[in-house]
């Protein structure tokens, strides 16, 4: 009887971890994602700590802590529902899994909707990288540029091309519209043209009147009635001076005809036109700082007045009385925000990439939900991996929320 002298066979050696390959790949992918967002967050911290006047006022940033908090709650709740969905898949309760995934999907939609509201609030106030004025001078120039763009947009909208269909440059459009106004008969068209002329006048030559008080100090006024009164008074003086000159010239001619000595020069002085300037000229002249003039400046009060006049001008253009102008008027209040462009850049980069990841997560859940009644245990690993990805998205937001919305360095 023979006996086997060999050792019992060992099971074949298997390399790797006791997890599905798909789950291992997801963990590796999330490792790269951690490095991806760590770079953004680290850069944000360096920039913010190195900027002592980083914008933190809600009036400047339009950061809504309540909306951010709502989104945090929505994501945390959605992560819990993903866990419920995966547990239901392992128990082969596919109906419950689908309900949980639908709740997660809706939470993701809600998150994106809230984020859209936040983005709209910033975009509507032009809190966009590269658009933010960070100094007083930039704020003034931006104000005039936006005012001019509104005027140009209104001019293009009102101009009616001729038979050739050619649209001239903006300066010729202005001349054409002003010329059309003198002969306009249609009341609606006439009102539109008058609104355009008013908008252009505020930009060019009827925003402020510069006067000198009895003590010799310059005073500024944006009262249009006062400006018109100054124009009327100047027109009367100009006509009187012209009439006096013509009368004197006639007397000289008559004396020459009669061989008499010419009358003495009456010393007619041409009246000085009032100093009426437009918004562009006010900024171009740099009638002193609009914001926070230095205490040493003798023109601090004038800068304060200019600020009041610009506020009044914007209110006037946006009023119901100027509804025809308001339809084209897209001018933001002049408000410099120091480090505003860096703030906006970091905010949109971090929250924007996070939003993209949320959209990818929604696509993953949509793929599962699309299976409908065909959903079975074959999708268990897919749901688990999608859940891992969603947890990561949630974790990133838990870091972003306090850093952007709450903590003030």
Residue 299, φ and ψ in degrees, nearest 5? -105, 20
8 Å CB contact between 312 and 224: no
Q: What share of the chain in percent tops pLDDT 70?
A: 89
pLDDT at 304 (0 to 100):
53
pLDDT at 235 (0 to 100):
92
For residue 367, the surrounding DSSP H or E stretch is helix 340-369
| 8 band by pLDDT with thresholds 50, 70 and 90 | low
3-class secondary structure, 218: strand
Question: What mean pLDDT is reported for the chain?
Answer: 86
3-class secondary structure, 283: helix
Place of tokens 């704020």: 139
| 29 band by pLDDT with thresholds 50, 70 and 90 | very high
pLDDT at 194 (0 to 100):
93
pLDDT at 12 (0 to 100):
65
Q: What is the mean pLDDT of residues 166-181?
A: 84
Between 136 and 81, where is the model more confident?
81
CA distance 359 to 249: 84
Q: What is the mean pLDDT of residues 149-157?
A: 93
CA distance 78 to 356: 17
**pTM score, whole prediction:** 0.77
Between 4 and 69, where is the model more confident?
69
The beta strands (E) that lie in 142-254 are given as: 208-212, 218-221
154 CB-side CA count, 13 A: 27
| Structure-token pair, residue 371 | 């299976």
Q: What is the mean pLDDT of residues 219-228?
A: 83
pLDDT at 294 (0 to 100):
34
pLDDT at 14 (0 to 100):
61
Query: Is pLDDT at 298 greater than 80 in this prediction?
Result: no
- pLDDT (tens digit per residue) in 103-135: 999 999 999 999 999 999 999 999 999 999 998
Selection from 93-102, 132-141, 212-221 with the highest mean pLDDT: 93-102
pLDDT at 28 (0 to 100):
93
CA distances from 158 to 115, 149, 197 (A): 37, 14, 11
Q: What is the mean pLDDT of residues 328-354?
A: 93
Length of the chain: 409
CA distance 217 to 234: 21
Residue 328, φ and ψ in degrees, nearest 5? -110, -5
């Amino acid at each position: 009887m023979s006996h086997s002298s060999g050792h019992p066979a060992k099971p074949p050696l298997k390399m790797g971890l006791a997890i599905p390959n798909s789950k291992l790949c997801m963990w590796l992918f999330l490792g790269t994602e951690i490095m991806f967002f760590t770079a953004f967050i680290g850069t944000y911290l360096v920039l913010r700590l190195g900027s002592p006047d980083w914008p933190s006022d809600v009036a400047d940033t339009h950061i809504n802590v309540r909306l951010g908090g709502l989104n945090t709650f929505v994501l945390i709740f959605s992560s819990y529902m993903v866990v419920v969905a995966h547990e239901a898949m392992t128990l082969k309760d596919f109906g419950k899994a689908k309900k949980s995934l639908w709740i997660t999907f809706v939470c993701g939609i809600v998150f994106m909707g809230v984020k859209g509201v936040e983005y709209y609030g910033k975009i509507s106030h032009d809190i966009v990288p590269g658009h933010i004025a960070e100094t007083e001078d930039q704020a003034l120039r931006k104000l005039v540029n936006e005012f001019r763009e509104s005027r140009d947009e209104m001019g293009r909208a009102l101009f009616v091309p001729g038979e050739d269909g050619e649209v001239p440059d903006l300066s010729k459009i202005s001349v054409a519209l002003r010329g059309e106004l003198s002969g306009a008969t249609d009341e609606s068209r006439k009102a539109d043209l008058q609104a355009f002329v008013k908008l252009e006048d505020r930009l060019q030559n009827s925003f402020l009147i510069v006067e000198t008080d009895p003590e010799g100090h310059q005073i500024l006024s944006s009262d249009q009635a006062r400006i018109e009164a100054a124009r009327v008074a100047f027109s009367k003086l100009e006509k009187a001076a012209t009439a006096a000159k013509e009368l004197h010239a006639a007397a000289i001619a008559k004396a020459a005809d009669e061989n008499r000595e010419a009358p003495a020069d009456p010393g007619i002085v041409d009246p000085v036109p009032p100093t009426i300037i437009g918004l562009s000229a006010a900024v171009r002249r740099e009638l002193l700082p609009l914001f926070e003039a230095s205490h040493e400046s003798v023109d601090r009060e004038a800068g304060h007045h200019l600020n009041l006049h610009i506020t009044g001008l914007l209110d006037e253009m946006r009023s119901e009385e100027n509804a025809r102008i308001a339809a084209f008027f897209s001018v933001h209040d002049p408000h410099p925000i120091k480090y505003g462009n860096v703030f906006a850049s970091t905010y949109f980069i971090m929250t924007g990439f996070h939003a993209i990841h949320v959209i990818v997560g929604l696509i993953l859940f949509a793929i599962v939900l699309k299976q409908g009644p065909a959903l079975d245990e074959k999708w268990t690993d897919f749901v688990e991996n999608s859940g891992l990805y969603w947890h990561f998205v949630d974790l990133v937001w838990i870091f972003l929320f306090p850093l952007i919305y709450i903590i003030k360095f």
